[in-house]
Amino acid sequence: MESRFECIREHQGSVQAFVDGTFDEARVRNAITEIQRDKATETPLAGMLLGVKDVINVDGLPTCCGSAFPSTMFEGREASCVTRLRRAGATVAGKTVTAEFAVSDPGPTRNPRNLAHTPGGSSSGSAAAVAAGFCQIAIGTQTSGSVIRPAGYCGVVGYKPSFGRIDTDGVFPFSRSMDHVGLFTPDLETLERILPILVNRWNPPLDAIEKSYCIGIPQGSYMDLATPIILASFSDAVEALALASYPLKRQLLVDDIAVYNDAIDRVTYAELYRVHAPWYDKYYDLYGSLMRDGLEQGEAITSRELQRLLEHARHTQLWISSLMRDHEIDMWLAPVAPTAAPRGLESTGDHRMNAIWSYTGLPVVTIPISVDELNLPHGVQIVGRYGQDERLLQAAFHIRDVIGVKSLQNQWELSQSL
């Protein structure tokens, strides 16, 4: 714990994972002491520090949604996902930086693996806080790719549940039809400790599955999004699984991935506008430029068109479940993003390889598989069948042991070693 406090004191100024003023060492120490004194309560996460994305309510800390709006606009009861983790002994270290309203206008957070690069977003601070060693657990949200992509960019484990398996109460909404609460941890072992506490109806399988499942390797326009460097790294991972005798099946995912990426964008922006419509005109000048663009796109989508888009989403969710069942694919393996984390903080990166998994509500775990010459991680998404999060986690351990890396250096650690 002392080493984490020291790490935060030394590197928060450069990483900027926490919202200013929300990490208070004295408060955190007092909270930990109280937990240690309470001998009557089971605290399986005692001693673990928790970062919470700044669109999620936490008792005693303001929610500002990464915006210039007054925090009083977002007051409400603590999110149940936070309460569950606190009752299990985790201590909230601070609120983590988010892109404005969990959309696209970036905050100041930098990637701990290379400070010149984005950590991704919109759950920027949550991914960076875990990657920097500030905390062992961080909560984020994903509407298109806002957990899985920053986890991949920062080289940590990310988890997006099947839609609805983690409650979203106490979370300021982006798109109610697509919003997921997700997690960041340094490794799968930590994730395994947390999921029974946080995921509704968690029921791990009793049977070992190791190599009895079939891994789908997407083909077609989806994979065409990735750059040659990412494809080469991914191909090495696939080859390692093949050499380890894992059953693989190359399968066309969709004819045109752009159709699905456009569809989720239209749904999410339409619902975003409906959330913000009551105060959009009054507070127009407080919004960032990308947020304004999204709101304007959403305003142009009629209620009738939104209903049609939502029907298409439900049809797609049923279709992809049928595709996996008919072709006996238990899970997909895919790159996290078309590139490694881009240089600069002007954007949070490219969500086009993540969005279809949010659109279809499937569970995803991402793990790092390699690091490039700039110390930027490459990762893979492991995507399970809907509702089978438990089996997905079990499979992620086996896949990690074949193709994953268990630890990465922070940029300052790399500099010291050089």
| Structural domains in the chain plus CATH codes | 2-198 (3.90.1300.10)
Is 14 considered catalytic here?
Answer: no
Residue 191 is which amino acid?
L
Q: Under 8 Å CB-to-CB from 231, ≥6 apart: which residues?
A: 223, 335
pLDDT value at 169 more than 80? yes
Torsion of CA 277, 278, 283, 288, to 10 degrees: -30
Is 123 considered catalytic here?
Answer: no
- Digit-coded pLDDT (tens) for 357-383: 999 999 999 999 999 999 999 999 999
State the pLDDT at residue 415: 55
Six-digit token pair at 417? 């070693």
pLDDT value at 41 more than 80? no
Six-digit token pair at 166? 């983690």
State the pLDDT at residue 364: 98
Count Cβ atoms below 10 Å from residue 409 Cβ, excluding itself. 15
Whole-structure pTM value: 0.97
Whole-angstrom distance, CA of residue 113 vs CA of residue 128: 9
Whole-angstrom distance, CA of residue 81 vs CA of residue 197: 9
Whole-angstrom distance, CA of residue 370 vs CA of residue 240: 13
- Digit-coded pLDDT (tens) for 294-327: 999 999 999 999 999 999 999 999 999 999 999 9
Which DSSP state fits 18? B
Is 415 considered catalytic here?
Answer: no
Catalytic-labelled residue, pool 122, 123, 162, 358: 122
Contact 329, 216 (CB under 8 A): yes
pLDDT value at 207 more than 80? no
Find tokens 């994953």 and name the residue.
404
More reliable by pLDDT, 120 or 412 = 120
Catalytic-labelled residue, pool 53, 124, 177, 358: 53
Catalytic-labelled residue, pool 146, 162, 358, 370: 146
404: three-class secondary structure by DSSP: coil
- pLDDT band for position 212 (50/70/90)? confident
